[in-house]
Structure 1
């Protein structure tokens, strides 16, 4: 640990070279400069040789035509003592403790002091520690840092499972630019209506902001889904739909984000209650209000929800409750084709598919990567 202004050296000769250097942090022994740090001017002792060796900033400070080059005391009011000591520890021995609480100040002052290795460490820290629970906060903070890779990683995470993030407590507090980047995503697993709903959530905590431009971003952006459709094939039928039961028979874990449902109705607005079971345990439930614009033909309603992870050899069941009742349109004995994802689709009551009528047109999903983010399992 750093020595807080002790007069006697505590070098610990039985320790490592790194430990001995760390023992010189804020140590009066052979110190040739004192920094008065923070508003209260806390005295922190330093050694010019360590500073000059670490940074061109300090080289110029102590060897240029500046008053600091001959001063024994240097005032630093723009940094907290704890942050400065952390940076000094890195300068002396290469050690640093990075946290989400100090990363912002560490980044500012490591850039000021031209400590490029520490800047790289700060960026690595951000990249390695982006998780679903902090992605929105880091994404917003990155408006200051400007790391492209941070934006890319956060946006990939958000666009993959947007409804999780729209419901997150941090979503309402993100800045306008960050929101605009999300709304303008070229690929995202939700509908335009759900994007508008997310914007409404944000607007409630930013009442003074004009959102017309943001609505235009949603309306005018050309986007697609960040997944693909597993289409169902089979002869069409006018029978009443039954629950859709299936299991993954390949060794492929699948992320599911939504389904397409056949709709044939004269009603302007249709409510669809969706429930998903895994081995008879309910793992998903949602209610959708679908604006029906195609009265004269069968339409497909794309219903997106928070990511559901489908595991190999587990039984799943999807049930639909549609009101008002729609004219039946189903696929008999549905089948699905994919090179790597193999499904067994069966009647969930009798274990057979010869009497199954499915109102589901497709599943919105994709294969789960080995290092995928755990958001809803």
Structure 2
């Protein structure tokens, strides 16, 4: 009799043990992300913080991973009803949703890269800032920087003009100061100024009005500035217009930008605070990459398992009386979907 009771309890014990293992893994992951999101909030306390809209691909991936959870639920229900063929198809669709989710996440990173958002970067341009040492004349008019816009006679350069400027700047992005310059448009379309002093190109070298060549350190400064110009960067590493495409915050207050100066509640920020900003890393974007990439890593690991799981399903290892493996796998799959939804909402309202 005792033997029979143990036989009856064995499936329940096995199910409980299997699910407990899944729950332990989930708890560990929750603790990791709770620590990261807490660190995110704490880091905002006394730091300059950049906020910008999440990439569109992240919304696509959200729909995809939630749809994958639905198809997995339907796959288990179909298996319990004895509809094995339908269940297999739904499991395959679930696995494909994981592939699409991963691809859309990578596309999202590419969209952020295209906006100048990188894992590690400063908020503002400091080394090689336009106007600190060098300026450029285009068609005889001095170019000025407003945010990330380059203006000529008060008007933002159009697409063709900006392309010409970037092409001109690319001539100076090489680090070798001994290189021989050959720029046909120099002196006609473009001119360089060093501390308001025009520079000439003589025998392939940049020459000051007193006949001296640029020093090594001056060439490095020119190289840094022209690298920013060639990348379409003005005062900020993030591309676009501050206040529209991205915003800068300090202690929860939005910092305003006017005429290359920064203002907090209508007052220009102090010199020490400005120095702090110049030296500040874009921690907000770093956290965004780290949090989303860590979640993606878990999805990719799970996706490898899902590929093997799909193979097992098509080999007929599950049936109406044996769905424990499917249900245990689904619990973790649903968890990853719910975790992403939480992270997305967190980043949406905090970032």
Normalised TM-score (structure 2): 0.23
The structure that is helix-richer by fraction is 2
Q: Which has the higher strand share?
A: 1
Q: Larger RCO: Structure 1 or Structure 2 (Cα < 8 Å, ≥ 6 residues apart)?
A: 2
Q: TM-score, normalised by structure 1?
A: 0.22
